[in-house]
Amino acid sequence: MDLDFSWLSIGRCRYYSAAILFIMTKILVTGASGFLGYHLLAQLSKNYSVEGVYYRQKFHFPSVKWHKINLLEEKDIEKSLQIIRPDAIIHAAAISNPNACEEHVTLSHYINVYATVSIAQYCKSMNIPLIFISTDLVFNGTMGDYSENDFCFPVSKYGAQKLEAEEFINENEQNSLICRLPLLFGFGPAYSINFLGDWLKKLADKEEIIAFSDEFRSTISVNWAARGIVSALAYMLDKSSEHKEKIFHLGGPECISRFNFARLIAHVFGFDDQNIVPKLRSELPMPAPRPENVSLNSSLASAVLQFCPPALSDQLFEIKNSIKHV
């Protein structure tokens, strides 16, 4: 039987060929079993072949292949990557709790710096894109509204480790991009922890919530952060432009204190905010120093990636509505 392909025009051939190549691109996500990783898998699996790295815990996710890799072992990283052979890597794995980094300096440095160096070296040797997830805590917080070119001067071990990894990548890896994220909120796997769930439970139980009134961030929902990262990946995979930006800030549209954000959460979810207590950072000392204002200016990502997250209240309503439909 002869097959008639006359209906498939040249334009359609190009379209379907591009679509097939897009889906077959293999993206490896480190930290895939974490809070951010959960949302990255959800976004990436729509258009890519996705594989995830975990160490202790993982969750079931259709069409995602999992790899157990010990990021404390350089040989384990190298051997695994040679087997997986991804087309691009999003490196989201980290010890991201600033207090934990302050108290466990050696362990956190291995994960946040040495593992990043190993992954970056592999990407350079294979000439594949690397998206490195960094933080707003590379800044000291004395200014706020930081752009990508502003001077970095972290006050915590976590911020210093992320900056050290950034500097290595920028000096040694040409086909790379750094995405700096602010404080994230939302829900992830059942075992993951985020302050939003804790605050909502306390609001429902009418328990006291202590929130800093003098700490400001350009906080964003984890879902919108993941969307920005996926846009950054597509930008790096696009070969039509040789010049690429090296750093993008993926912050929310508002600079807000933790105290006012807690009140906004109460308002959106229909709770009384009388039990939300404002405190100064000096009143609740913690192992890691907390900068005052590390809000990010994300106008570059808006212009280049069309990254335009909605108002914080709208992001919260998105989460509220998604909970209703679960």
User: Which residue reads 């996926």 in tokens?
Assistant: 230
pLDDT of residue 324: 67
pLDDT mean across residues, the chain? 92
Give the C-alpha separation, 292 to 311, whole Å. Answer: 22
Give the C-alpha separation, 86 to 257, whole Å. Answer: 40
Taking the whole predicted model, whether its pTM rises above 0.95 is answered as no
Give the C-alpha separation, 203 to 182, whole Å. Answer: 24
| 2: pLDDT strictly greater than 50 | no
pLDDT of residue 17: 40
pLDDT of residue 142: 97
User: Which residue reads 């009384």 in tokens?
Assistant: 272
In terms of Cα–Cα distance, which of 102, 110, 106 is closest to 72?
Answer: 110
> Tens of pLDDT along 112-170?
999 999 999 999 999 999 999 999 999 999 999 999 999 999 999 999 999 999 999 99
> Tens of pLDDT along 256-314?
999 999 999 999 999 999 999 999 999 999 999 999 999 999 999 999 999 999 999 99
Domains of the chain: residue spans and CATH: 10-188+219-253+295-309 (3.40.50.720)
The model's confidence at residue 19, banded by pLDDT at 50, 70 and 90, is very low
Give the C-alpha separation, 55 to 185, whole Å. Answer: 23
- Mean pLDDT for 83-89 is 97
As a residue count, the chain comes to 326
Alpha helices in the chain (DSSP H): 10-24, 35-44, 74-84, 98-103, 105-109, 115-126, 157-172, 195-204, 222-237, 258-269, 299-305, 312-324
The model's confidence at residue 20, banded by pLDDT at 50, 70 and 90, is very low
